[in-house]
Amino acid sequence: MENAKLTLYQLFVLILLFETGSSIVITLGIDANQDAWMTILLGLALGLILFLVYYQLSSYYPNKILTQYAKNIAGPFLGSIIGYLYVIYFMYLAARVLRDFGELLLTFAYSETPLIIINAIMVLTIVYGVSKGIEVMARTGELFFIFLYLLAIVGFFLILFAGLIDINNLKPMFANGIEPIIKVTLKQTMYVPFGEVIVFSMILPYLNHFKKGRKIGLYAISLSGINLALTTVINVAVLGVDVNKRSPFPLLSTIQLIKVAEFLERLDVFFMLALIMGCFFKISIYFYASVVGISDLLKVKEHKKLAFPLGIILILVSMMIATSYPEHIKEGLNFVPLYLHLPMQVILPLFLLVVSFFRNRKKGTKADK
Amino acid sequence: MTLPSFWKMNRKKRINSANREKSGQSNDIPQHILVTNLESNLKILRNITGNSSDIIIRRLMIEAIHRQGAIVYLDGLVNTDIISESLMESLIHEKSVMNEYSKANLLQIIQEKIITVGDIKTVRQLDELFHHLLSGEAIILIDGFDTALSASTRGGEIRQVQEPSTELTVRGPRDGFTESIRTNTALVRRRIKNPNLWLESMKIGKVTKTDVNIMYIHGIADEAVVSEVRNRLKKIDIDSILESGYIEQFIEDKTFTIFPTIYHSERPDVIAANILEGRVAIFVDGTPFVMVAPALFIQFFQAAEDYYSRSDISTAIRFLRVIVFFISLIGPATYVAVTTFHQEMIPTLLVITITAQREAVPFPAIIEAIIMEVTFEILREAGLRLPRPIGQAVSIVGALVIGQAAVQAGLVSPAMVIVVSITAIASFATPSFAIAISARLIRFIIMLLAAVLGFYGVMIGLIWIAIHLCSLRSFGVPYMSPIAPLIRKNLLDTVIRAPIWLMKERPRLISQKNMNRVGRAQYPPEINKGEKNED
Amino acid sequence: MKTKYPLLIICIISTVLISGCWGKKELTDIAFIIAVGLDKAEDGDYIASFQIVNPGNVAGSAQSGGQGLPVAVYKTKGKDLVSLAKLGSKRVSRRLYFAHTNLVVIGEELAKEGMLDLFDALERDKEFRITTSIVIARNGTAEDLLKILTPIDKIPANKIIKTILFTEKTIGENIDVNVNDVITGFVSPGREPVINGFSIYGDKNIGGTMTNLSSTEPSAYLGANGLGYIKNGKLVDWVTGDNAKTVGFIQNKTRSTSVQIPWKGKENAIVYSIQNQHTDSKPSLQNGKPSITVNIQSEGIIAQADLPIDLTDPLVLNKLNQQLETAIEEKVLQGIKRAQKDRYDVFGFGEMFYRKYPRMWNDMKKNWNDAGFKNLQIKVKAKVYIRRSELRNKPFLSNMDNN
């Protein structure tokens, strides 16, 4: 645990950047065709519930991060195993997002550069940020948040003015009934990106006003969910369902179509800037959680010392998890949600919550503070 | 493995040399106090100063107490009028008062009743005596007393108070600091007529014994910061302080950063404004640049004039400054990145035009950029060294001619010249020189990153800089506040400049206690009565 | 941080920098391909023609002599698009760069045979932008079309692109179609794509030389020529004139065009110039049968009146309105019927049915073109508003008669 304090606004910004970070560039829920945005909103609702679970767990053990209170709840041996599981889980997810990021950059901008170089440079920066601590990262987040939002708003207006939006592409709604929507939500959007908020169990203890954290967290997740839904709506409206399904990066295709005033066209690079910023934060937060978790489990006093070696591990893992991009994506859609996200984001925390609920009931109202 | 032992060896060497350096810088003055005999005292003085011919020793007979005395002063540092009219006049011509007072407190009589000069102190220690003497005060030695008097007769040639050359304004006061520390503190006192404006002085520099004063408003400034400043200043152990920059390098929070964490200015109104926000001002004798701590990043984008003009104009100009800073930071890098990696970003006709220009150029874009940038830096340095009338002409002519000639010789393309010129002009538009220099350096690094990885490199460089900026602290205050961490009430004076009646609070992290500076309901009165529409 | 780590990091970073830059492309090392032409050879291979810009001869200022031609056309022959592009590297001294390819021309022969194989590479490639315009070279090959030099636009591809942009807004017989539109049209079962046609008028052999530019009337010039109907990736029909305008109307891309009506026995007496039009098509079920109602709203001015008529009288204008409405309705109906006769839905009516009656669409979509669309009941309703009559109210002919 660091000696750091985060303000509520910083938490808000971190959650928002984390959620929106890489999700805004990939497809979400497109298996439900033009109702994809509904799956996002439904996933948002479920994600909010999940956040309440994580927040409640943190509130039972204030000033303790996940790896610490896991030991309190499940006993030292089982608890540290749970802690290790989560640390590896976070590291794997960090590597996943890093791989996603590198592949994306390679696909449309830097095709001749080797993947490891792109990943390595990003990881170097992340290691620098993480070694400075969560406060510095939160402040950097505040800086970039403004810039990112400005970019988003300008982009939105450009798409509007280019006359690209054709609402008809979103019809008919509920074309195949509500079933596909629910299926896609339960298989995909609930976990990515909304369930990923579990990583904030490693960050919530740093809040200066913990009680208000719940409201802020809910706001942040809702806002990011609305952002994502809006982006999906725009993507489908502009491109149509078919192109959306066949593009790995629909937002890029949308931006490529912008042609305003004969001069504002070819704006893909701004997409790249937003991507770099968003992915940087997402990977940083996962990586930070992992580093802090490991340094806590291995009883290393300063997590800064671990940042660099773990960074190298991150690069290597990101290269090893898949041999091709389609394999990576397929893993992410078929294997990861069911065998990783479901247990780690839903089952384990619920189990921990139930146990801690009963334990704290036994102790009486002492643990409420 | 040889690597660890290599580092260990170095460390030992460094520790030894540090130990050696600690002692031995202070000039030893063998004897510490005066003796009662006048002649011996004068002899001691002459010995120590090696009979320097600008130390004037004026013997006289002090009528009032019937003793031999001598006035010692440094020619050139004293105001000779005071010496002749007040000091010597009073000492020589005052009638004897031997009858009225006992011998015991003769010195006190002279000090209080005879001498008609403003500030008189008693001195016994030799080093203190030399400090006064070398600051321009006249030492009065009296035979039979081992205590000397030091009269304040400071004068000598100092620069007039004139407009500072580095910070010009259109609207605003035109006085600037000079090299005399007392003038400087007086200029600030003039603006803040409040007894809570406290001044502490100290001498820093073992050989130069430079006067350093700190000023702050008690009750507004954070006591922790004030004591931190005091402690850091006291810790300075060096032989000479010639400029406030020396002190800055000692007391700043972190040395290996390009960004300045202490603000400095030549304008009294700027310093006064900073003191009023709760900061501590550090004056150093011998330089007109006064430092202010703690400093925030956003301060380096603020100019005094912003507060004297209307808020909408100031806001627009502040936006311009931020844009200009970015241009000077990533201008050439963007050009290099876009023309070597992201050609699809440029509109078709423009890219064809630029290609046509680059057909004749033998170098790749990054080499061209480096050549032009380095040439520009050389021109800039040369322009600084040349005397003023030639200097300006050379920079302008040099830039134009060299740029044009380079284009025609086929060394660089015209587009590059334009990019570099705009970048250079943009770097001049940054109000604070310290930040402009930082941007100059960083520009090269980002250019190299852009040459290797295009926009990705630029973005990574910017993220790196952002992380670095956010990790800096200036005397405990986060460098990037009030933007990060976000303090909403202080945002009114960052990139925008809200009307003065809106900026109600002082910067929160700097003056923790005394925060309100504007009273209630200060907005301009709505004029809906008394409108005059007709004659 | 101990002193070891910075050194390590510096070593790592310098290896990155030293090992060279991978994706770097100097501006002088790339060949800007402004337009790509695709044809079919006799033996079944593809022939690609690349219109490459010569930057030195295009730039405005007199940099290094502008005597040469602004573009050069190189050909390659190959079996698929990717190898065509790579074979081009043997002919051109620079790397072929497609990010600024603003035009794709497909030869008429190739278009009739089938274009489906061409589009995947175009869509997938990261350099190639999907906003590239598409044109079919009518009565000729794409290669010849790309070779023609144009007097007003230095880069001939620009002429084609800009011509389409402006004629779409002015007369409405061609609409701006890009690769994205075509692919979406291929995929959608309820809409077929259309592609503009361009022809060479004049002697194409001289068109590719400097001589073409040295006379006031160029020996050969390019002009837009009709709209091509594409079915299953094959060009099946050309339409021009009013039939072509119909497509523009219904897809809401036409801004302005002109409608002539007879008046008091005189043919083409009044010309109404549309300034702004908006078309809405609504699907509906009439007695269980699918039908479409097309509502056209147009605003315009009287641009020409060749007989005495009192244009200041609103009642007269009303009568004119009615006549114009009938005229427009007839023309649009005719255009739709033409497409119905040829059995392909270029208007997107199928898509509209999908959006409103998704269940019904599932049954209809199998042979929409042959059955559903062909038997679609169409109702066209036009609403015409004459707003102004420009700078004169009554034609001078009115006063001539009075004398």
Q: According to the model, what pLDDT value does residue B12 have?
A: 56
Cα of B148 to nearest chain C Cα, Å: 55
What confidence category does residue A92 fall into, taking pLDDT thresholds of 50, 70 and 90? Answer: very high
When scoring C13, C22, C24, C27 by the number of chain B Cβ atoms within 10 A, the one with the most, hence best to mutate, is: C27
Q: What is the pLDDT of residues A317-359, one digit of tens each?
A: 999 998 888 898 888 888 888 888 888 888 888 888 888 888 8
Question: Which of A116, A168, A253, A316 has the most C C-beta neighbours within 10 Å, making it the best mutation to test the interface with C?
Answer: A168
Choose the mutation target among B6, B13, B254, B343 for the interface with C, i.e. most C CBs under 10 Å: B343
pLDDT of residue A248: 83
| Predicted local distance difference test score (pLDDT) of residue C385 | 87
Beta strands in C1-70 (DSSP E): 30-40, 46-53
Q: Is A330 or B22 the better-scoring residue by pLDDT?
A: A330
**Residues of chain A contacting residue C5, judged by C-beta atoms under 8 Å apart:** 308
pLDDT at C59: 67
Residues with pLDDT less than 70, chain C: 1-5, 8-9, 11-21, 59-67, 401-403
**The pLDDT of residue C12:** 64
The span from the CA of B512 to the CA of B44, in Å, is 53
Q: Give C291: exposed, middle or buried? Use CB within 10 Å, 0-12, 13-18, 19+.
A: middle
Tell me how close the Cα of A77 comes to any Cα of chain C, in angstroms: 33
Min Cα separation A45/chain B (Å): 29
Task: Establish if B484 belongs to a structural domain.
Answer: no
Helices A213-239, A36-60: axis angle to 10 degrees equals: 160
Q: Which helix (H) or strand (E) holds B472?
A: none
* Cβ–Cβ < 8 Å for A70, A352: yes
Residue B175 lies in a domain: no
Which is more confident, B105 or B45? Answer: B45
- Per-residue pLDDT at B289: 92
Same domain? B317 vs B439: yes
Domain that holds residue B101: 38-151
| CA–CA dist B104, B111 (Å, integer) | 13
Proportion of chain A in helix, strand, coil states, percent, rounded to 5: 80, 0, 15
Residue spans of the domains in chain C: they are 27-239, 251-403
**CB of C97 closer than 8 Å to CB of B343:** yes
Give the closest of A109, A242, A266 to C184, CB-based.
A242
Together in a domain, B237 and B357: no
Give partners of C (≥3 CB pairs < 8 A): A, B
Looking at B249, B266, B295, which one is the last position of a domain? B295
Output the pLDDT for position B427: 84
Please tell me the predicted confidence (pLDDT) of residue B518. 74
Which pLDDT score is estimated for C14?
A: 67
- φ and ψ at residue C23, rounded to 5 degrees: -90, 20
pLDDT reported for residue A336: 85
If one counts every other C-beta atom within 10 angstroms of the C-beta of residue B287, the result is 23
The secondary structure of B9-76 as a DSSP string is: HHHHHHHHHHHHHHSS-SPP-S--B--S-HHHHHHHHHHHTTT-TTEEEEEEEEGGGTEEEEEEEETT
- Contact pairs from chain B to chain C, CB under 8 Å: 76
pLDDT confidence bin for B21, thresholds 50/70/90: very low
- For the CA atoms of C319, C323, C324, C329, what is the dihedral angle to 10 degrees? 140
| Angle separating helix axes A134-161 and A213-239, nearest 10 degrees | 30
Q: Which of A171, A259, A308 sits opposite C5 (nearest CB)?
A: A308
Residue contact C4–B356, C-beta within 8 A:
no
> What residue has token string 């299953």?
C232
The predicted structure's pLDDT at residue C63? 47
Residue ending a domain, choose from B433, B453, B477 = B477
What's the pLDDT score for residue B13?
Answer: 58
Are the Cβ atoms of A132 and B478 closer than 8 angstroms? no
Looking at the predicted structure, is the pLDDT value of residue B7 above 60? Answer: no
Neighbours of chain A (3+ CB pairs under 8 A): B, C
**pLDDT for the residue numbered B348:** 85
Would you place residue A369 in the very low, low, confident or very high pLDDT band (cuts 50, 70, 90)?
very low
| Average of per-residue pLDDT values in chain B | 82
For helices B414-428 and B348-358, angle between their N-to-C axes, nearest 10 degrees: 100
Query: What is this model's ipTM?
Result: 0.91
Inter-chain CB proximity A112 and C22 less than 8 Å:
yes
- Give the C-alpha distances (Å, rounded to integers) separating B524 from A179, B36, B498, B528, C234: 62, 70, 13, 12, 74
> Which of chain C's residues have a Cβ under 8 Å away from the Cβ of B351?
27, 32, 100
Statement to judge: residues B365 and B452 lie in one domain: yes
**CA-CA distance, B374 to B379, in Å (whole number)?**
9
Share of chain B above pLDDT 70, in %: 88
Tell me: do B370 and B312 sit in the same domain: yes
Taking CB atoms and an 8 Å limit, are A112 and C23 in contact across chains? yes
The first and second tokens of residue A98, run together, are: 């890093």
Of the two residues B36 and A293, the one the predictor is more confident about is A293
The answer to whether residues B103 and B248 belong to one domain is no
Pair (B283, B365) in one structural domain: no
Residue of chain C with shortest Cα separation from B345: C99
Condensed to tens digits (0 to 9), the pLDDT of residues A8-58 reads 899 999 999 998 887 777 777 778 788 888 888 999 999 999 999 889 888
Rounded to two decimals, what is the model's pTM? 0.86
Q: Give me the mean pLDDT over the A98-107 stretch.
A: 89
- Kindly report, residue by residue over C274-299, the tens digit of the pLDDT: 888 888 888 888 887 888 888 998 88
Q: How far apart are CA A338 and CA C326, in angstroms?
A: 63
For C382-391, give one letter per residue: b (16+ CB within 10 A) or e: bebebeebee
For residue C106, the model assigns a pLDDT of 93
Do B131 and B152 form a contact (C-beta atoms < 8 A)? no
Q: Are B452 and C18 in contact (CB under 8 A)?
A: no
Please tell me the total count of domains within chain B.
3
For the domain C251-403, what is the CATH superfamily, name and number? Answer: Nutrient germinant receptor protein C, domain 3 (3.30.300.210)
B283-287, B442-446, C160-164, C397-401: the lowest-pLDDT one? C397-401
**What is the distance between the alpha carbons of residues A137 and A126, in angstroms, rounded to a whole number?**
9
Asked if the structure places residue B191 within a domain, the reply is yes
Q: How many CB atoms lie within 10 A of CB B37?
A: 15
A95–chain B nearest CA distance, Å:
18
Last residue of a domain, one of B295, B323, B347: B295
CATH topology of domain A8-368: Amino acid/polyamine transporter I (1.20.1740)
Q: Is B7 on the interface with C (CB under 8 A)?
A: yes
Q: Are residues B272 and B324 in the same domain?
A: no
What tokens does B82 get? 């005071």
Q: Is B296 exposed, middle or buried (0-12, 13-18, 19+ CB in 10 A)?
A: buried
The residue written with tokens 């990923």 in the block is A196
Is the separation of the CB atoms in B253 and B475 below 8 Å? Answer: yes
Nearest CA distance, A175 vs chain B (angstrom): 39
Q: E strand or H helix at A120, and its extent?
A: helix A115-132
Interface contact B485-A139, CB threshold 8 A: yes
pLDDT at residue B528 is higher than 60: no
> Does the pLDDT of residue A292 top 60, yes or no?
yes
Mean pLDDT of chain A: 86
Cα separation, B395 vs B379, in Å, equals 6
Residue B527 has pLDDT above 60, yes or no: no
Mutation choice for A interface testing from C3, C15, C22, C360 by most A CBs within 10 A? C22
First to last CA, chain B: 96
Interatomic CA distance for residues B357 and B380, integer angstroms: 26
Is there a domain that residue B6 lies in?
no
- Cβ-contact C279, C297 below 8 angstroms: yes
